[in-house]
Amino acid sequence: MKNLLTRLRGVERDIIQPPAEDQAPYYEPQANEIRVFEAAYRKRLPVMLKGPTGCGKTRFLEYMAWRLKRPLVTVSCHEDLTSSDLVGRFLLEGEQTVWQDGPLTRAVKAGAICYLDEIVEARTDSTVVIHPLTDHRRRLPLEKKGQEIEAHEDFMLVISYNPGYQTVLKDLKPSTKQRFIAIHFDFPAEEIELRIIRNEVPDLGEDSARRLVAAGRRARALKDHGLEEVTSTRALVYAGSMMSAGLEPIEACRVAMVNPITDDVELAEALMEIVKAHFAEG
Amino acid sequence: MNSEVEKALAALAEASFVAHRDALAALPCVRRHGDAAALEWLKACRELFLHDRDAGRAFIRGTPAIEEVAEEVLTWTRQALQFMKWRNSWKAVEGFMDNLPRAYLILGHAGEVRWAEIGHKWCMRHLESGTAYFRTPVDDLAGRQGITGVENVCTPAEELFELRRLALSTYLAGAIKVRNLLGAPAVLPWALRGADILQAGRLRGEAYFRLESEESLHLLMEQLPGYRLPEHQRLMQFLVAAWYPGSIGLKDGNWSPDQGRAFVETDGRDLFLPAAMAGREEAVLGVLHAAGHILFGSYRRDHMEALFREAGAANPSVDPGQRIDWQPLYALFGDDAPRFQLLFDLCEDLRVDWRIGKVIPNHLQRMVEEAEACHPGPGPAADYYDLALRTLKRAANFTPALTLPHQGGGNASRRFEPLLAEQATVADAFRIALQLYREIPLAPVSTREECQRAYLPGRSPNAARPVYPREEQTESGKQQRDLDQEEGTPSQTPLPLADEKSPKCVQGGEPESDQKTDRMAGVGGQAGFGIPQPARVQSHGRGQGAGERGIPYPEWDYREGRYKRNWAWVQERKLAESNMNEAIRLTHQYAHALARLKKAIQAQKPTRQAPLKRQFEGDDIDLDAVVGFVAEKRAGLSPHTSIYRRRDVQQRDTAVTLLADLSTSVMQQLPEGQGRVVDRIRAGLLLFAESMEVVGDAYAIAGFSSKYRDSVSYYTIKDFEQPYTGEMKAVIGGLSGRLATRMGAAMRHALTRFRDAPCRRRLLLILSDGRPEDYDDGGDVRYLHEDTRMAVKEAGDQGVHAFCITLDPAGTEYLSRIFGAGHYLVLDHINSLPKKLPEIYLRLRR
């Protein structure tokens, strides 16, 4: 009953939640990533997930958290994310100051998997905070309190990192990178991608799904021609969802696969050519 | 009479031995027209010779060729004598004599007279213009329209000359191209527009007339009917890249409307796009189809050899560029070659389209739809067109197991089936075409236009150009050409850059295409009109002056889709000139602006470094605010909880390199007449340096210029770790422009210099006054554009943010492609440059 309540929509709940035991998040393994992750977990080594946007990094981690039966704390990093946002800060409450743990501290204490999504977005000082956590020390210093926490034995740190994404101004420092076990993700193979789409959008026909996957894979050939990000599996799922919601296939692809990834008129035209070829009546 | 001639000869001998000898050689053909004519001619020889040796010599030597065509002497002799009115007219005489035979041939006698008359009038107005007129080949002037063509081109120029003193030499080449491309009526509006631009600025106007400026090209392109491929070349490149693996280059073909229907052509390596096609659909299909030929083995060496064996011809002959010419194959069919060619193309195109259909879904349906929409109407071509359409429809619904019902075309329908298979080759297509040729009674087509009409939209004459045969392994090996191998064995597969200027367009669509004259007309690269020809990059011998060579950088060649290794050589040089006085003068002149700038920077500085106080959220507690908060609270008030302290997010360490283009063009006078462009650049750099001293960010200042790929000069004026000194001010004060703008190489060098910079945020600020170009880019503006675009991309990969500030008003048109939208700025007023430069930086670093 309590489980049910905490899963109610529109209700605040604590960020540290044990994974629901009954329902596994849907994940199609691409290679040996599950074995690698489990091995890293056994040795409590931090893991870095590399790969393009929308190829399944976050979903993989949700799945692994479920599989390892650990709570998952996800922090989406952004430009203004400081170390206090991760570690914690003093707040005023009534007449006194109160220390409030940040999500990282909570995860360290509770033995959760802490997932720092798109870590390059965060400021340098916050990436340095995780250093002592990622080596043999496994400690989190709470500078402001003059304390440090020995991490819970089940605690694990995972970051995601998208190489080539906005590296104009940002990149991880080599000293940070080399502390992690890195698993490289790419878009799944054709059959796997097809299974993913059939699974995520069950009411989409086999034929449409097949065309969608073929179009998506074809569109990725344009990667080095001015696309920062290519058509992701997620975009294909979205396009499939739009189709199953009643939108014409070509329009669905335009709004889900073409418009979001480029403002370049000609590139968009070329992508639409690909879509139209696959979804033409015939 | 005879003795008079002897006397005249003697007089000539007195004047010059050479003249006498040449005249003696030419005399027999002149004498055919009587002694009176000979005498007058000899006198003219002498007079012209005395007037100007070169003129006389040209006159005498040109005589036999002219006499042969003109079959008279006196008219043109008298015309030649007219040149004596002007001094130094020998160049005009030379041109006149050179062009006379063609003038007689093309324009006839009456036309020739008019042609000479127009030219003489021009000499009268402006000798240089007259010279340019006579030196322009008559064929170009007339453009297949006879003397009317000449008049159409030259009349607008008269008014331009009267009003704006525009020399014919500036105008003529452009006008001819405009006429060829858009027809005679377009010349006048184009010229009038040019006159307006000329009034606004002479340099700009002259560039317009030479068709060098973006605005004139733009204007022309706007008027060209149909779907304009150069504008959509990127799209086509994307499509080819998306559908086919490997690299197929797209080049501008030298098609012009007078050649009839526009086709996408290929030479087995690259696709050649016409300037415009009838519609978008046809253009897309054409590109996909022609690329399909390359990919699906129409030009595989072994298959082509099999084909030639089948035809009973010897192994295909190759030209010096290792290309195979199809013509010997068609020569076997004599006068009926066009009929066979159409059938052969039909078979081969069907085979290729079917293979394309396996890769691109719905390709065949799309072709059928387009073909049905564009039916050419009745005529002999329609029979071929219909046959092609029928076979295509059948292929679209073809499944090998299915037995197809017979429709029109008799048992021909079955014949095509072997082509619809993976293993079918061009030789099979040939065999089937041969059977059809013998069995199907289709009416022969006679004219070129008719021939061209027989092709379905998207298809094109396959033998339009000689082709580079493809080796089998490149076929199966995903077309990845191994760079090293290619460079290592130049004799087998010569680098396309070096071996030819511009691939010849042999108009295979023409029935009479094996005639030499037609090939000559087809070459007409001149008719290619401002569409850039493929670059001629001269290969300079490596190993000369090895110590001086500097640092090599790769350069991107868009035509091949790969980097050319060690292509551009950058040398670091010191700027010798320095001018302290100028620096002081400029600092003084801009003292006011500088003071304001500094104040602005100072005003920004506190927010940049000090933490923000009294925030509603932040990293730390702002103790002052907390004390106040608690006090107020105790006092019974309800204060805001703005009690946090936060460091400013704008605090970022930034390093910037300002890279100034120091090409010749910066020496231009400003239109307002207040100094030159370089004066503003000097002031801009000075103000930039002064401002940066206040800002405190690491910065470097450098300039660059280039002459050919092996000599790109990079002048470091100030490096990151160097302090700003008076010496540097003096160097900036003495800046001057030289040579050309190979921007990509300079940028790559600037990028390596960034490695020394300690900061994470890096900005490369490029200050330019024109498009990237160099002496050896062969007029192909796109080449260095693409290279620069790649350099920008490399900068991005290395974490350097490139931004371009340009003084070229036409910059919008190309900079958005090179630097990306929002990564460049066009300064409309050059006078604003000095104070804008630091402002732009401050805005960018935010």
pLDDT digits (tens, 9 = 90+) for B131-161: 989 988 888 888 777 888 888 888 888 887 8
Share of chain B above pLDDT 70, in %: 81
pLDDT value at position B474?
43
CB contact under 8 A, A92 and B799: no
The overall pTM is greater than 0.80: no
pLDDT value at position A105?
94
Q: What is the pLDDT of residues B613-668, one digit of tens each?
A: 677 777 778 777 787 788 777 777 777 777 887 765 444 567 888 888 888 877 77
Structure token pair of residue A173: 């420092």
- Mean pLDDT of the A68-82 span: 86
Is the confidence at residue A233, as pLDDT, over 90? yes
The closest CB to that of A266, out of B234, B629, B797, belongs to B234
φ and ψ at B644, to 5 degrees?
A: -105, 160
- Mean pLDDT of the B196-207 span: 80
Nearest to A236 by CA among A253, A219, A250, A249: A253
Integer Cα distance of B556 and B541 in angstroms: 20
Within 8 A of A167 by CB-CB distance, chain B residues are: 796-797, 799
pLDDT value at position A213?
94
Clarify whether residues A46 and A149 are in a common domain: yes
pLDDT value at position B400?
53
Residue B846: helix, strand or coil by DSSP? Answer: coil
- Mean pLDDT of the A3-22 span: 72
Is the confidence at residue A55, as pLDDT, over 80? yes
Print burial letters for B121-151: b (CB count within 10 Å at least 16), e (below 16): ebbebbbbbbbbbbbbebbbbbbebbbebbb
Is the confidence at residue B272, as pLDDT, over 80? yes
- Mean pLDDT of the B325-329 span: 78
> ∠ at Cα B559 (B556, B561), nearest 5°?
55
With a CB cutoff of 8 Å and minimum separation 6, the contacts of B64 are: B25, B26, B29
Is the confidence at residue B495, as pLDDT, over 80? no
Is the confidence at residue B407, as pLDDT, over 70? no
Q: What is the pLDDT of residues B780-812, one digit of tens each?
A: 777 888 888 888 888 877 778 888 888 776 777
- The more confidently predicted of residues B607 and A125 is A125
The closest CB to that of A221, out of B241, B362, B363, belongs to B241
Poorest-confidence range of B295-309, B589-603, B697-711?
B589-603
Within 8 A of B619 by CB-CB distance, chain A residues are: 82-84, 89
Surface-to-core class of residue A241, CB atoms within 10 Å of its CB (0-12 exposed, 13-18 middle, 19+ buried): middle
Clarify whether residues A119 and A224 are in a common domain: no
Q: What is the pLDDT of residues B360-370, one digit of tens each?
A: 888 998 899 88
Clarify whether residues A126 and A246 are in a common domain: no
B240 touches B356 (CB < 8 A): no
CB contact under 8 A, B801 and A169: yes
pLDDT value at position B545?
38
CA distances from B438 to B407, B431, B571 (A): 20, 11, 67
Provide DSSP, B300-329.
Answer: BHHHHHHHHHHTTPPSPPB-TTSPBPSHHH
Print burial letters for B734-750: b (CB count within 10 Å at least 16), e (below 16): bbbbebbbbbbbbbbbb
Structure token pair of residue A83: 């170390």
Domains: count for chain A: 2
CB contact under 8 A, A280 and B361: yes
B402 reaches A (C-beta below 8 A): no
Amino acid in the structure at residue B732: I
Clarify whether residues A198 and A180 are in a common domain: no
Surface-to-core class of residue B28, CB atoms within 10 Å of its CB (0-12 exposed, 13-18 middle, 19+ buried): exposed
Clarify whether residues A175 and A77 are in a common domain: yes
Return the number of CB contacts < 8 Å for A and B.
78
pLDDT value at position B532?
38
Amino acid in the structure at residue B587: T
pLDDT value at position B846?
57
Q: What is the pLDDT of residues B555-573, one digit of tens each?
A: 888 877 788 888 888 888 8
pLDDT value at position B399?
59
Amino acid in the structure at residue A258: V
Amino acid in the structure at residue B210: R
CB contact under 8 A, B362 and A169: no
- Mean pLDDT of the B83-100 span: 88
Indicate which of B238, B558, B615 best probes the interface with A, i.e. most A CBs within 10 Å of its own CB: B238
Structure token pair of residue B478: 């995903």
Clarify whether residues A56 and A180 are in a common domain: yes
* Chain B residue with the nearest C-alpha to that of A218: B242
Radius of gyration of chain B (CA): 34
pLDDT value at position B689?
85
Q: Which stretches of B671-810 are assigned E, i.e. beta strand? A: 698-706, 712-718, 761-768, 800-806
Tell me the average pLDDT of chain B: 77
- Mean pLDDT of the B60-75 span: 86
Range of the domain at A221: 190-279
CB contact under 8 A, A79 and B649: yes
The sign of the CA dihedral B487, B488, B494, B498 is: positive
Nearest to B275 by CA among B292, B255, B297: B255
Poorest-confidence range of B283-287, B544-548, B738-742?
B544-548
pLDDT value at position B524?
33
- The more confidently predicted of residues B10 and A35 is A35
Amino acid in the structure at residue B192: L
pLDDT value at position B519?
36
> ∠ at Cα B459 (B454, B461), nearest 5°?
70
Structure token pair of residue B347: 């078979």
Integer Cα distance of B362 and A277 in angstroms: 6
- Mean pLDDT of the B116-133 span: 90
Clarify whether residues A93 and A158 are in a common domain: yes
Instruction: Report the residue count for chain B.
Output: 846
Q: What is the pLDDT of residues B17-44, one digit of tens each?
A: 888 888 888 888 888 888 888 888 888 8
Last residue of a domain, one of A184, A201, A219: A184
Angle of helix B726-733 versus helix B580-589 axis, rounded to 10: 90
Poorest-confidence range of A193-202, B406-415, B455-464, B725-734?
B406-415
φ and ψ at B136, to 5 degrees?
A: -75, 125
CB contact under 8 A, B799 and A168: yes
- Quick one: pLDDT band at residue A112, thresholds 50, 70, 90? very high
A234 reaches B (C-beta below 8 A): no
Is the confidence at residue B185, as pLDDT, over 50? yes
pLDDT value at position B603?
62
Last residue of a domain, one of A184, A210, A242: A184
Surface-to-core class of residue B652, CB atoms within 10 Å of its CB (0-12 exposed, 13-18 middle, 19+ buried): middle
B407 reaches A (C-beta below 8 A): no
- The more confidently predicted of residues B108 and A227 is B108
Clarify whether residues A135 and A223 are in a common domain: no
pLDDT value at position B518?
36
Is the confidence at residue A116, as pLDDT, over 80? yes
- The more confidently predicted of residues B700 and B442 is B700
Integer Cα distance of B483 and B492 in angstroms: 13
Helix (H) or strand (E) holding B824: strand B824-826
Integer Cα distance of B607 and B681 in angstroms: 31
Tell me the average pLDDT of chain A: 85
Structural domains of chain B, ranges and CATH numbers in brackets: 2-223 (no CATH), 227-524 (no CATH), 580-601+651-845 (3.40.50.410), 611-646 (no CATH)
B366 reaches A (C-beta below 8 A): yes
A171 touches A121 (CB < 8 A): no
pLDDT value at position B608?
46
Clarify whether residues A121 and A81 are in a common domain: yes
Is the confidence at residue A31, as pLDDT, over 60? yes
- Mean pLDDT of the A49-75 span: 91
Is the confidence at residue B540, as pLDDT, over 50? no
A210 touches A187 (CB < 8 A): no
- Quick one: pLDDT band at residue B609, thresholds 50, 70, 90? very low
Is the confidence at residue A7, as pLDDT, over 80? no
Clarify whether residues A158 and A225 are in a common domain: no
B243 reaches A (C-beta below 8 A): yes
Within 8 A of B366 by CB-CB distance, chain A residues are: 277, 280
CB contact under 8 A, A221 and B362: no
Last residue of a domain, one of A167, A184, A201: A184
B673 touches B826 (CB < 8 A): no
Is the confidence at residue B296, as pLDDT, over 70? yes
pLDDT value at position B611?
61
CB contact under 8 A, A269 and B799: no
- Mean pLDDT of the B86-104 span: 88
pLDDT value at position B420?
85
Clarify whether residues A29 and A148 are in a common domain: yes
CB contact under 8 A, B796 and A168: yes
Within 8 A of A280 by CB-CB distance, chain B residues are: 361-362, 365-366
CB contact under 8 A, A266 and B643: no
Radius of gyration of chain A (CA): 21
The enclosing domain of A145 has a CATH number of: 3.40.50.300
Clarify whether residues A20 and A154 are in a common domain: yes
Integer Cα distance of B630 and B698 in angstroms: 44
Helix (H) or strand (E) holding A131: helix A131-134
- The more confidently predicted of residues B666 and A181 is A181
